[in-house]
Amino acid sequence: MKLTYGGEVKISHTADCPKAKRKVVCVKATVPYEHRHLVSLAAAAVLLLLLTAGFGVIWQSCYADTIVQPFFRRGNWAVIWIYAVLLVILFRAYDCLRYGYLKGVHLICNQCIAVGIANGITYLQISVIGRRLLSTLPLLLLTLGDILLILGWAAIMKGLYFRLYPPRRLVIVYGSRRAAELVLKMSSRVDKYMICESVDMAEGFAAVCTQIRGYEGVILCELPADARNDLLEYCYAVGLRVYIAPDIPDIMLRGAEEIRLFDTPLLLCRNTGLSPGQRLCKRVMDVVIAGGLLLATAPLWLICAAAIRLEDGGDVIYRQQRLTEGGKLFDVLKFRSMIPDAEQEGRAVTATEQDKRITRVGKVLRRFRLDELPQLWNILKGDMSLVGPRPERPQLAEAYTQACPEFGFRLRVKAGLTGYAQVIGTYDTRPADKLKMDLMYIEQYSLLLDLRILLMTVKTALLPHATNEAARKNIQRTVQKGRKNGPCSKL
């Protein structure tokens, strides 16, 4: 594939892109890429100011004078500042501050959920201040106005941001045919990436260095360690952006502690999972939150149990053996969402989205993750944690371990009700990629990460298909096109 510069990129009729008739216009960024984060932050700051100003108007006009002891000026400003801080925290947790990072529909959904949670918490706060339940209508109208503001601002920023920062022209350097999947996924984000060429590392280091010059970034995928390190050093020397598909050892290094031996820097990989202090804090959080959720969701338990019993008269609770920390077996509890004796042959069969064994009530339970409510009892007992790798069945875990021996590394921590792989991945995510996400969680564990994953779980429960289904269809369309032409046709 040959590239000529001067306003457009002409794609030659090569094996990489047969019968290519389209012209890809390459417009350079009108604002330096180094300022991209400042532009994104400024856009988010303007939105936050507008949202806070809207709340300030509602507070002053509808609530400030209705509380038992009205505030003076400083008290009113304190309420508004608390709302602003809450918005910033939720926007940070839901990645709402990074324009251009998420796709438009994802960003809008995240911002709407963050605003909804902020307004809900604020209503409880001002009701406590007012010493009674105040009217919800003003905050409901505020939420509706916030959603309209988010939609309008997203439309403005979509046109402005991507005019300032068009997609980066990338080249992929690969050493395995498995790189095709990554390329196709990146190609589905035409707003961010333009993969113009693919280069086989077998062509040699010098040839690869020659071919990657002139691009705005390089993707390194499934390369031998020596070759990848050499290319990393070269790209660092010339200031070329690099995207890396990490291997398991790369993820382990991310959790390493920086230490020094006199004047020699070292990386310490403890490889022991969570520290005793982290385990204690995590357990306290599990008991407090799970206990509170158990009490708050008690009415839902009764509704779910009655619906299951009325549909087919079968058992309400389903028990199944799963693995948790250290390979320990335990009985996970769920509301039954499948027909009785769904696995009559006794072998483990993974459920799919359109599985005929799922009952009508079960579809609703799975849609909103209500079938997993009984696992709160598993958490209180200590079998599980709120956040952690998905608890797998022993048979499936054995099969995964045979295919990927590192799969057992997930058992360094307790299995979780939700997890990093569950809120980031989809039904179609490869087990190998889910394993990497689980290991990323273990190596970068913190209570703040747990809280962030719990907040993201709210989005997953409310909108399990609204964003993921669109992403899957987009990738599938790209896959079909990529098999016929494009830079990944030879991968």
> Per residue in 74-101, pLDDT tens?
888 889 999 999 999 999 999 898 887 7
Co-location of 436 and 294 in the same domain: yes
Co-location of 257 and 289 in the same domain: no
pLDDT at 277: 94
Co-location of 73 and 147 in the same domain: yes
- CA dihedral 32→37→43→48, nearest 10 degrees, is -160
pLDDT at 424: 86
Give the residue from 134, 163, 192 where a domain finishes: 163
Co-location of 424 and 320 in the same domain: yes
pLDDT above 60 (res 23): no
Co-location of 150 and 262 in the same domain: no
- Provide the residue range defining the domain that includes 230: 168-267+476-482
Co-location of 181 and 211 in the same domain: yes
Residues 401, 312: contact at Cβ < 8 Å? no
* Phi/psi of residue 218, nearest 5 degrees: -130, 135
Q: How far apart are CA 195 and CA 119, in angstroms?
A: 42
pLDDT at 240: 93
**Which residues pair with residue 265 across a beta bridge?**
260
In a domain, 58, yes or no: yes
Co-location of 325 and 375 in the same domain: yes
Residue with tokens 């022209």: 169
Q: How far apart are CA 156 and CA 148, in angstroms?
A: 12
pLDDT at 442: 94
In a domain, 72, yes or no: yes
Residues 333, 402: contact at Cβ < 8 Å? no
Q: What would the pLDDT profile of 313-337 be if each residue is shown by its tens digit?
A: 889 999 999 999 999 999 999 999 9
Co-location of 143 and 101 in the same domain: yes
In a domain, 153, yes or no: yes
In a domain, 185, yes or no: yes
- What is the pairing mode between strands 264-268 and 317-323? unpaired
Q: Is 432 exposed, middle or buried (0-12, 13-18, 19+ CB in 10 A)?
A: middle
Cα–Cα nearest to 423, from 391, 383, 384, 467: 467
**Which residues pair with residue 266 across a beta bridge?**
259
Give the residue from 125, 148, 163 where a domain finishes: 163
In a domain, 20, yes or no: no
In a domain, 370, yes or no: yes
Residues 330, 383: contact at Cβ < 8 Å? yes
Q: How many CB atoms lie within 10 A of CB 469?
A: 14
Q: Work out the average pLDDT over 1-20.
A: 34
CATH code of the domain in which 212 resides: 3.40.50
Q: For the whole model, what pTM was predicted? A: 0.80
Q: How far apart are CA 197 and CA 488, in angstroms?
A: 8
Co-location of 230 and 328 in the same domain: no
Residues 250, 225: contact at Cβ < 8 Å? no
- Cα-Cα-Cα-Cα dihedral sign, residues 36, 37, 42, 45: positive
Co-location of 432 and 290 in the same domain: yes
Co-location of 116 and 172 in the same domain: no
pLDDT at 116: 95
Co-location of 291 and 414 in the same domain: yes
pLDDT at 12: 33
Find all residues with CB under 8 Å of 347, minimum gap 6, and list them: 395
**What total number of domains does the chain contain?**
3
Range 273-285 burial, b when 16+ CB lie within 10 A, else e: bbeeeeeeebeeb
| Higher-scoring residue by pLDDT: 466, 265 | 265
- CA dihedral 187→230→238→179, nearest 10 degrees, is 0
pLDDT at 403: 86
